[in-house]
Chain A
Amino acid sequence: MMTRNFSTIPFIIVITLISMPLMVMYGFLILDTFTDAPAGELWPDRFTLKHWRFLYDFSEVGNVWVATFNSLTLAVSMAVIVLSVSSTAAYAISRLHLPFRRFFLAGILVMHAFPAVTLLIGTFFVLNFSGLYNTMIGVILVKASLLLPFGIWIMKGFYDTVPWEIEMAGVQDGASRFTVWRRLILPQVKPGLVALGVFAFLDGWGEYLLPSILAPGSDMQVLSIFLNDLIAAERVGYDFNLFKSVGVFYTLPVVVLFVIFQNRLMNIFGGGTKG
């Protein structure tokens, strides 16, 4: 694209140096899951699969598959709620006459920018009063709600790009606004739905804080807590290779989704909620 009248080599070296911690961390993350190193050494000296024992041997760390299923439940429910609620609300805001529409949209934007984690204490009260404290449903509802302003905002952006004429043609053809939305507009914003759905899934999948604070006694232990408990638990000692194996297992779906939906996700990541 650009002319090559400058040497890029020094810059590649600088970038590589800066990126060193990441390369080391991720390199050893993969390496350590199937090797062992002598105590006090960095470089592994033998190949082993024993770190992956946790997949079938539950005696040491507990049943990882139950936690996986719970994480899946959390992430999928969250994606479903975020998708359905934001795709309906965003359409209404983008295209229908509502009282206080401007105000509502401004509110959504403020909430979108607003750091939602500061509300955790207030959320704790809400769950306590509504009896949802310590339940996975409470965690799912809170987590989904916190992502809603973002979801509504993103979806509104997608709806805004659908030509008004499609909508007008639909009502001319005799379809109700609901039918227009369902059969004509929704198919046009599919890329947005996919991106938001994957984003919500990943957000739910990686969540640690809410389940640990809002449902500490819940029977439904998700993978993030499963993994962190391994570290906290004294009984396994400090076996980083085991942690990393569980961690890689935990991250695998994320990487797969990311590879598949990379381009669609990139647009949405820029406005993501992660710091």
Chain B
Amino acid sequence: MYDMKALYEAESVVHAIALRLEHPEAQIIAGGSDVLVQMREGRRAGKELISIYMLDELRGVTLDEDENVRIGSLTSFSHITRDPLIQRCVNVLGEAVDQVGSPQIRNIGTIGGNTCNGVTSADSASTLHAYEAIVELTGKDGVRRVPIKDFYIKAGQVDLRPDEIQTAILIPKASYENTFGHYIKYGMRNAMEIATLGCSVNVRLSADKRTIERCRIAYGVAGPVPMRVPSAEAAANGERPSLALAERFAEAVLADIKPRDSWRAAKAFREHIAVELARRCLIESVRKAGGVME
């Protein structure tokens, strides 16, 4: 038995919003692979929960009228990885969430929960930042769309208002078109591991594949929230792909990232692997985009 004060089960998005307003102290639970564990270990013990897990309308990946990829917030990691639209448009996101926890965790864990946690180490977060994802929030007055970088306020806190639930994450067409990315998670073991550092890079090359038209890079665990790295992006944009460029690009990340010492790893070690992951991710992204590193 969980040490739970009460459970309110939402029957629709509208009902979930009503429950949020009715029970302001209650915690939203999506898949529960974080919330229930925290309840078990005492951190959230004795709390009320609003379950949105049964809202199947929040599951699935579609293309909206503007051809943005729309991922329902309750779509599980394993369904994202297996989804043909994800594989075609943002394959790196499917690869990134395929590194969360274990197979069973990936069947229950949701992308909405992964982002609403506000945790810097979330495996989906760096790729969503690198693709400038839009978070769709539904409240009593309608839908609000927030760029993911503004959604994260600080460690453990996201821009979710008292009447809102997150209903989808959108990857804009301009963001995924002709764009190829790569994610590397650094951890001590492969399964059931929180990232020591996660790095996601994506590039769009010119038609002749000889110029990087647009390069974006984002990290998890390089700061209190997932972050983009403008200094490295500036170093790569408009440049010809080369191993020398990859070195310059990777070194440039140190100007922006702010990792810390923690029991998982030292700051100096995180900086070291941040550079190496950036280099490898850029090389792999260019390769996936059909380019050649000179």
Are A and B subunits of one complex?
Answer: no
